[in-house]
A and B are shown apart, each in its own frame.
Chain A
Amino acid sequence: MSGGGVRHLYVHLPFCATRCGYCDFVTLVGRTGEHGAYVDALLRELALERDALADPLDTIFLGGGTPTFTEPAALERVLASLPAAAEVTIEANPETVHEGLTPVLARNGVNRVSIGAQTFNTALLDVLDRRARPEDVRRAVHVLRDAGFENISLDLIYGIPGQTAPDLERDLEQALELAPDHLSCYELEAKPGTRFTHAHGEELGRQADAMEGYFELVVETLVDAGYRWYETANFCRPGRESRHNLAYWLGRDYVGIGIGAVSTVGARRWRNAPKLRPYVDALASGRTPPREDEPLDPATKARERLMLALRLDEPVPLQAVGSAIDPAGLARAERLGLAERRGGGLALTRRGRFLGGAVTAEILA
């Protein structure tokens, strides 16, 4: 063991084959010719941050974009250069998972794959501009299982224009048939002003009205199927939490590299600028990439700690968040049966978790 104290690393691989209408991540479509140069820059940034990182790391998460869309040689160079870590997750679109990919992942220490399934309904996949078909999801899971991957997560989205509650039930059913180790279920967030929102305006309103029913359906179905609702939007089989994401929710330090990536270390948070060219150029000439800094005072840290911790099913120790709590607000939330103290810690009740945002706002000083 050596190095600094940061035990969690995020690596941003922004490239995608196409852009999905609803997506608001930092992504770049195509540009396969630039993958190599980007990876060069990424590895230079990793070298810059190396001193801050523990070795071995606890977790690494490769997110995107579509990390598995990255040109294979470039992808392997990234993976091969990463420090060792107990959990290494990569995000993948179903159509990018094939027999050629799995050995690359396996021999470079990737041991967790998060597949962006979103829905098993062909028409709804089209609404989302997703390329993969439902059979691609099933095939991807089988390919990964066959290659020995034992920690597979599926992403689902609900509230898609045109979706009905029975549609969602079928999605959940088909996802469960694949016996994933972990599920992330998100409501579709349509950002105002986007083409997607413009195209589906009225229908998005109807979906918003249905959203609370969907959320209950998701939680009930997955909990009934034996999954643990360990975070607002995340479910796992026992012991299969995303350790990387848990690190965020527990307020641990992390370093993020790549365009748009965010790092939080101690009292400092910084975000890399989202543009490719300035990022590559700066690192090519040995400079840190353009960044936006955000100092975090202890009060802000405490508020974040509380806000993140209340997303989890396990209580947060009161002494860690005490200064961020409004006692009157907490008392109200407790009286309404939305929050409770358990073993020296604070957690939301089951009903409180469905209203997590409002209850957190209530409790926050």
Chain B
Amino acid sequence: MSLDLIRNFSIVAHIDHGKSTLADRILEVTQTLSGREMREQVLDSMDLERERGITIKAQAVRVAWKGHQLNLIDTPGHVDFTYEVSRALQACEGALLVVDAAQGIQAQTLANAYLAIENNLEIVPVVNKIDLPQSNPEGSAADVADLVGEEPDRVLRISAKTGEGVEDVLDAIVERIPAPEGDPAAPPRALVFDSSYDQYRGVVAFVRMVDGAFRPREGLRAMAQGTRFEAEELGFFSPVRSPMETLSAGEVGYVITGLKDVSRLRVGDTLTSEVRPASKPLPGYKEVKPTVFAGLFPTDSDEYPELRDALERLKLNDASLFYEPETSQALGFGFRCGFLGLLHMEIVRERLEREFDLDLLVTAPNVAYRVETKAGEEVEVHNPAEFPREVERVEEPYIRATTIVPKDYVGAVMELNNGRRGRFHHMEYLSEERVMLAFDLPLAEIVYDYYDQLKSRTKGYASFDYDVTGFGEGELVRVDILLAGDPVDALSLIVHRDTAYARGRELVDRLREEIPRQMFDVPVQAAIGSRVIARETIKAKRKDVLAKCYGGDITRKRKLLERQKKGKKRMKQVGAVEVPQEAFLAVLNLSGERR
């Protein structure tokens, strides 16, 4: 098809502002799907995505509208997936920026708008949910027009739910969004903006052809990673896979690669032809690195192989998931996993528990630290248990946190961020009522109990977003928890010196409550190096007997003892101390994000 008749666009929005509903409606209005096939929110295929109202994997659907080919590229809507979003946006020439008419601009509206602007996209502002009685389409339209530098009357007012205004949206896409540029005759170049894994056919790459064309059976190469494969099939989504004989400049579609491992084809890489290779890849490729780490252990240590298999299977579809085996004295065999952020961690954890039916113990999440040891060595540490006790210098990741709140809560957010080692960056009134605050914060500070605090201090009105900006030096220490003198590796923490005492105290108190009395006194300590900063003692129990036992109840008493023995076997052993699983759960919940 001629480039003039192609439009590539995505929809960006804050969570729950109606992105998926609008996508569904577009499929319906363009008759891409019949009513019978129409399913609520077709594009968000995973249960978890639908429940949380977010998209994890990008999708790309081709629809026809008034003689044009429109390619809708759905993007992951969350900060953890910023890189994926930016690649998906790079594949487009325009974006619909959808704002809820009742809620107005939110943190992710901003983040996504800026990303779209950075990628030189034509932004079509859309105010959604005008059917809601409490909506304020005029106010929201004025704000969003201001944000993207448009006239308020150019902001579309729609209801994706009722379908009102959806045809205008399609018209606006054709009229306002530029046709793709590219050289159909040049050596082929295609941007990989996502991939999925098909158990029969291997990795399926989602691509935007920029120059040239691909044909089936053609030998292809990923320019950054160097991976080579043959294009087994080419096509587009409608929304099921529809094979084609050629995928040419300007078009969006898929390539079935036959590769058995998603990590061999990274998002952002450029595909080219083996026989007629391009000389330069498309810009913007980078390798994404995990920012948040946690240990995942099966509650039942017999389930270790199941956990390993489950992670392997998740990894097939999620190249950004990182894991390696970890052995904890306290928790047994498990994996140290790296995630793009807290949401990514939550999603992985929930999928492991739901789709693979695993019971997991998850250690307190931590970030990546750059440590210079006393010996002058530089190491990156992902696990508190491996953090050197003697360090020269530590750097930790910093973020730029953007919070939007009604102006009455500015003080509350300032106070929270100041208490989290935040540095004020700037503040901006988005409207008379709504204020945007930008702070620089250590990433570690939002990993621990931040969202809940923010929510409760702003009565749920705050919206929050962040970007990792770099590393900064921090006065960080390793706090170890010891039971009867033996360190509990799974409970070690890296914290700022100023909060070490409070966190150590909290853990020690909680452990004293949760660990049952043993047959001997058990000191519970928090220590920085050899210096004990908090201490409690679990006093030995003085009595544990079966009161009486005669000829009539030997069987019952034996079974009681056998059950007691089994209970002991289920306990985790830390040195001589028996710690019930529940104690770890309680303590780990305390140190993780409270949900």
Contacts and interface: CB of A to CB of B under 8 A. Distances in A.
Q: Do A and B bind each other?
A: yes
A300 B544 contact: no
Interface stretch (B35-43, B404-412, B466-474, B555-563): B555-563
B554 A264 contact: yes
A249 B553 CA distance: 12
A332 B564 CA distance: 16
A63 B543 CA distance: 28
A361 B549 contact: no
Given A248-B551, A254-B551, A362-B568, A307 B544 contact: no
Contacts of B543: 211-212, 215-216, 354-355
Nearest to B543: A212
A269 interface: yes
A264 B549 contact: no
Interface size class, chain B: 20 to 34
A357 B547 CA distance: 9
Contact of B554 (A186, A248, A336, A356): A248
Interface string A29-66: 00000000000000000000000000000000000000
B268 to A, nearest CB: 54
A307 B545 contact: no
B364 to A, nearest CB: 30
Interface string A307-327: 110010000000000000000
Contact of B519 (A187, A311, A338): A338
B561 A359 contact: no
Interface string A169-202: 0000000000000001011010000000000000
Contacts of B553: 262
Given A248-B554, A261-B552, A357 B546 contact: yes
A357 B561 contact: yes
A10 B551 contact: yes
A163 interface: no
A358 interface: yes
B565 interface: yes
A152 interface: no
Q: Which size class do A's interface residues fall under?
A: 35 or more
Contacts of B114: none
Nearest to B557: A307
Contacts of B542: 212-213, 215-216, 354-355
Contacts of B547: 186-187, 189, 232-233
B552 A355 contact: no
B548 interface: yes
A186 B557 contact: no
Given A355-B544, A362-B568, A264 B551 contact: yes
Contacts of B565: 361, 364
Given A262-B552, A361-B568, A300 B545 contact: no
Given A212-B541, A215-B545, A359-B519, A364 B561 contact: yes
List the 5 closest pairs (A to B, CB-CB), nearest first: A212-B543, A358-B544, A361-B564, A212-B542, A356-B545
Interface of A: 10, 184, 186-187, 189, 211-213, 215-216, 232-233, 245, 248-249, 254, 256, 260-262, 264, 269, 271, 294, 300, 303-304, 307-308, 311, 332, 336, 338, 353-362, 364
30 contacts: A186-B547, A189-B547, A211-B543, A212-B543, A213-B542, A215-B542, A232-B547, A248-B554, A249-B549, A262-B551, A262-B552, A262-B555, A294-B555, A304-B554, A304-B558, A308-B554, A336-B576, A338-B519, A353-B545, A354-B545, A355-B544, A356-B546, A357-B546, A357-B561, A358-B519, A361-B564, A361-B565, A361-B568, A362-B568, A364-B562
Given A262-B555, A304-B558, A355-B519, 20 more contacts: A184-B548, A232-B547, A232-B548, A249-B549, A256-B552, A262-B551, A262-B553, A262-B554, A269-B554, A307-B557, A338-B519, A355-B542, A355-B543, A355-B544, A357-B544, A358-B519, A358-B541, A361-B561, A361-B567, A362-B519
